[in-house]
Every structure is written in C-alpha cells, then in structure tokens.
Amino acid sequence: MLKDHHPHRIRQLAIGPIAVANPVVLAPMSGITDAPFRRMAARLGAGLVISEMTACAALVRGRGDMLRRLDRHDRGIHVVQLAGCEAQWMALGARIAIDAGADVIDINMGCPARHVTNGASGSALMRDLDHALTLIDATVGASSVPVTLKMRLGWDASALNAPQLARRAQDAGVRLVTVHARTRNQFFGGAADWAAVAAVKRLVSIPVVVNGDVRGFEDARRALELSGADAVMVGRGAQGRPWFPGQLARFLITGTREEAPPFERQYWLARELHDGILDHYGAALGARHARKHLGWALDAAAASAGATASELKHWRARVLTAEATPQVQRLMAEAFDALTQKAAA
C-alpha cells in the first residue's frame, strides 16, 4: 500500500439536499449493476451506485425484468436510472420508481446501444435538445426526489452539445449531470476526452461527474484535473473488481494506493456475488447472469497473478461451462488456488 503525498483535492458531493459519501460513482450498466453487484460495491466503499437503465414504458406495463431493476441494494442512496422517449412514460416511470423507494431519479441520455437509440432514447435524444427537455421537464415535474442526468459529449464530433444540454437541464431543475467523455458515434472506441467535459463544468453550477476510461488511480486523477469535475464515475473498470470504486475513493481522499485484495478475498467476494445473483434472479436465470461476473473475476485475478492468456483461457473454460452450483464453486476455488500459486512463484 503506497501513500501519495498529494491526494486530489476533492469537493463534497451532493445531489440537491442529499450528501454523497465520497466522489466515486458506480456507473449504471445494463445486465451488470443489479442489486447484488450494487450492494457489494457500496459496501466496499463506492460513494454512489446507480441501477441498471430501466425502460419507462416497459416499467409502466409491469414487465418483470424492469420491476426487478427497482430493487434496493440495502445500503446508502437508492438511485434508479430511467430511459424513454415520451414525456408521459418518463413521468409515470418516475412515480413508480419513487413509490418503490428511489431516493434519486437519473435520466439516461447517454446509452449508445443501437436498440436504444433506434427507439429515440438514450444518446439519440442529444440530436433534439428541445425534445430532450420535454422529457426532463416531465420527469422533474413528476418527482418528489432530486433528478440527475447522464449524457455523452454529443451525438458525433460535429455536434458536441453536452454543455448546452447540461445548462438547459440545470435550468429545468436537474441537480447533477454526468458526462461520458465520448460521443455516441464513438461507442466505447478511442479514448475518452476528459478535457472536453470542462466546457460543461464552466457552464453549470450544479455538480458534474466525469465518466469514461477510469480503470486506475491515475486515470481518475487525470480525469478530474482535465475536466474540473466534482466526481468521477467508474463503469467497466469495476467489472470483476467491485472493490475498485471504494479503493479509488480512498485514494482521492487520502492519497493511499491500495493493491487488489488477496486472492482468497477475491474468491470469497466472487462467491458471495454469485450466490447473491442466484438469490436475486432464481437459479436458472441467475446462473446466466452470474457467469459474466465470474469471468471478469477470473480476468482480474489473472491480471494480478501475471497469468498467461492460455492459463486464463483454461480456467475460464472450466468455470464458465460448469452447470451445478457446487461444481462452479469448486472450480472457482481451484482456479484461485492456482492463481495464488502462480503469483507466489
């Protein structure tokens, strides 16, 4: 564990009247940030965790998978992210989420997935800010809790309109904005342009969160310095590493650079998450959801151990093709034992 003598100077993060424990946010990720994963990341120190994107129209119709996304993670602030393309559904979705216990509503105007943008939701809304504002107005008007907004820099490099959207959202009552520092057309390619988020920060007085490519301590420090943002959001950098947002928060506050947990600890965290996902979804559906988390856990452990690509492929193939829960747990234990020995060699 190393100590940085010059930790980043952080600001107290708040969403309206709600104080946030620290300036590290776990990103909303569909199929990933369900209640079990959020619960673990929050317990391990993330300042704020956000639900998977919840489609308002499907939520209003009572679709089971969308209702499940409203489940609390039992620790800290409960943020539900909503997506939609019609004001009436956004308003109704916000009321349902609040009735289910949401402390904050987050609006998704950043998802780049084609199945979302083809339906005129997510980052497609950045092509029509007037329409986007009708959705923001409807959500804020229907909400008795603070509303936040997540966006990208713009649809493409010719229309970097995040500052304009952020300012109009602030004027409409949004209490915090998050900017993924890519355009929609970049998807997740290229490098996040953290400096471009500074234009948003200059135009609003509400807190700004910078998102994109934050996978290590220096990434976070640099993202905050270049953007001037008040907080940093971690997405893919937390896959297989639910402890990382908490470690990053402690780094920003104290300058302490923590190493990954011991392999035995990583194994028990992976097993706890596996069990939690099975409980959350039921055995059959849960096994499918858990498989990707187990794969990422192996990826993270293999990277720490210095395992070769072929060694990682071997353990992934064994663990991720196992069917019965006891077999999955036994093979995971064997994999982590092998990785522990690899690291010690």
Which positions are annotated as active-site residues? 111
User: Whole-angstrom distance between the N-terminal and C-terminal Cα of the chain?
Assistant: 21
What's the burial of 119, exposed, middle or buried (CB within 10 Å: 0-12/13-18/19+)?
middle
The token pair that represents 261 in the structure block: 């947990």
Q: 104 with 81: CB under 8 angstroms?
A: no
Q: What is the largest CA-CA distance in the chain?
A: 61
What's the burial of 88, exposed, middle or buried (CB within 10 Å: 0-12/13-18/19+)?
middle
The sign of the dihedral angle between the CA atoms of 8, 26, 238, 197 is negative
The token pair that represents 8 in the structure block: 């980043």
Per-residue DSSP letter, 185: G
Which has the closest alpha carbon to 35: 20, 54, 21, 19?
Answer: 54
Alpha-carbon distance 175 to 164, whole Å? Answer: 15
Residue type, 178: T
Helix orientation angle between 87-99 and 129-142, rounded to the nearest 10 degrees: 30
Q: 135 with 122: CB under 8 angstroms?
A: no
The token pair that represents 38 in the structure block: 């959020």
What size, in residues, is the chain? 345
Alpha-carbon distance 122 to 113, whole Å? Answer: 8
Alpha-carbon distance 218 to 116, whole Å? Answer: 32
Alpha-carbon distance 40 to 125, whole Å? Answer: 32
Alpha-carbon distance 120 to 84, whole Å? Answer: 8
